[in-house]
Structures are given as structure tokens and as C-alpha cells.
Amino acid sequence: MGELSELGLMLARDLAAQARAAEAPEEKVALTEAFQKTSRTVRLTLALDFKLQRDAARDAREAAALAADAQLRESKIIQAAEAAHVSLTRPSPEEVQKRRVKAVLNRLLWNEAEGDQEEYDVLYEDLEARLWEIEDAPGFADLPIEVLAGKLAKDMRLSGELVVTTAEAIVPANSPQPPLADTG
């Protein structure tokens, strides 16, 4: 584009000089018209070159903004994934307590829903909402599971017997049996 502009400008200069030097009116008119067309072509070429540069700069800015947005979204996704991983691998005491309550009340929720999956989902979401509301209460993680589960079952008007099983230590099924005592 630059070279084309330069050639057009040189031609326009030559035509202007020839038009000034022309003595015959027909020749002067023809050279003046050629000069006008050439100078218009030069202006249009320069305007197009400027527009192309401006568009390229705008496209580069937009591409940079899109890349920055994509990087930000990717960063947020990575942070969310890391937070989810941490919450799964190292749950807080409150999260452990909530999981235990859900496990204890799960059978009661299913029985209350009488096997209807939609009703069960509604009850389960209600339980999650109640747990979310009270998880920040002082001492939530330290409450005995049977007290917390019993209170929630009563508040939700769940029927049926609440069964809570606890174990002091979980012993794997394939662990060796302790030696028998010598009774002698």
C-alpha cells in the first residue's frame, strides 16, 4: 500500500507540473482531470491503509481482551477445582458433621418420600438448606450426631425410628484377629 501511494503521489506531481506547463486548453483540461483522478486515488489509498492499520490494531486489542478473559475464566475454573478437591480430600469438621447427619437421615427421608424420587429430592434439598443455615453456629461440629440428627428429624417432621450407629474405631474387615487371652 505504501509503495502504491508513493507511485500515485509521484504521478500526481508529474501531472500537476505538466498541467501547469501545458499551453493548449484541451491538453491542460485532460492533464488536470488526470491529476484529479490520480490525487483522489492517492487519498483513497492512504485512507484505506489507515483504516486497515486501525482495524488491525482494534482486532489485536480485542484478541488480547478475549485471551485475558479466557485466562481469567480458566484461572477461576482451576481455583474452583482446587477448592472442590480440598473440600473432598480435607473436609472441615463442619462438612464432616453435615455428611454424617445426611447419612443418618437418608433412610428417614426415603421412607418419608415413600419411594418417590422427586419427593425425596425435595426433602434432601430441605435438609441441605437447614444444615447450611446452622453449620456456622458455634459448636455445630461438636454436637453429638444423635442430638443434631434427632432435632432435624423432628423439625422436618420425619416419621420413623432414627438409628444412629457409632464406632469408637473402625477396624478393617481383613485385619488380623487379636490374640486370645490365656484363661489358663
Give the pLDDT confidence of 2-54 residue by residue, as tens digits: 777 777 778 888 888 888 888 888 887 887 888 788 878 888 888 888 899 99
30 φ/ψ angles, rounded to the nearest 5 degrees: -65, -40
Give CA separation, 153 vs 28, 109, 115, 125, 148, in Å.
Answer: 104, 9, 18, 14, 9
As given in the structure block, the three cell numbers for residue 122 are 425435595
Mind listing the pLDDT tens digit for each residue in 51-67? 999 999 999 999 999 99
CA-based nearest residue to 141, from 109, 83, 87, 101: 101
pLDDT beyond 70 at 174: no
Reported pTM: 0.43
Cα-trace Rg, the chain:
42
Q: Give the model's confidence band at 87: pLDDT under 50 very low, under 70 low, under 90 confident, else very high.
A: low
Q: How many residues does the chain have?
A: 184
Q: Which residue has the cell 490525487?
A: 39
pLDDT beyond 60 at 116: yes
pLDDT beyond 50 at 170: no
As given in the structure block, the three cell numbers for residue 9 are 503521489
Report d(CA 37, CA 32) in Å as an integer.
9
As given in the structure block, the three cell numbers for residue 143 are 454436637
Q: Give the model's confidence band at 182: pLDDT under 50 very low, under 70 low, under 90 confident, else very high.
A: low
Report d(CA 100, CA 145) in Å as an integer.
7
Q: Give the model's confidence band at 109: pLDDT under 50 very low, under 70 low, under 90 confident, else very high.
A: confident
- Within a 10 A sphere around the Cβ of 64, how many other Cβ atoms? 10
Report d(CA 123, CA 110) in Å as an integer.
9
Q: Give the model's confidence band at 171: pLDDT under 50 very low, under 70 low, under 90 confident, else very high.
A: very low
**Average pLDDT in the 82-101 region?**
81
Q: Give the model's confidence band at 173: pLDDT under 50 very low, under 70 low, under 90 confident, else very high.
A: very low
**Average pLDDT in the 128-132 region?**
90
19 φ/ψ angles, rounded to the nearest 5 degrees: -65, -40
Q: In whole numbers, what is the pLDDT of the chain averaged over residues?
A: 82
CA dihedral 18, 24, 25, 29 (to 10 degrees): -30
Per-residue model confidence (pLDDT) at position 140: 85
Per-residue model confidence (pLDDT) at position 58: 95
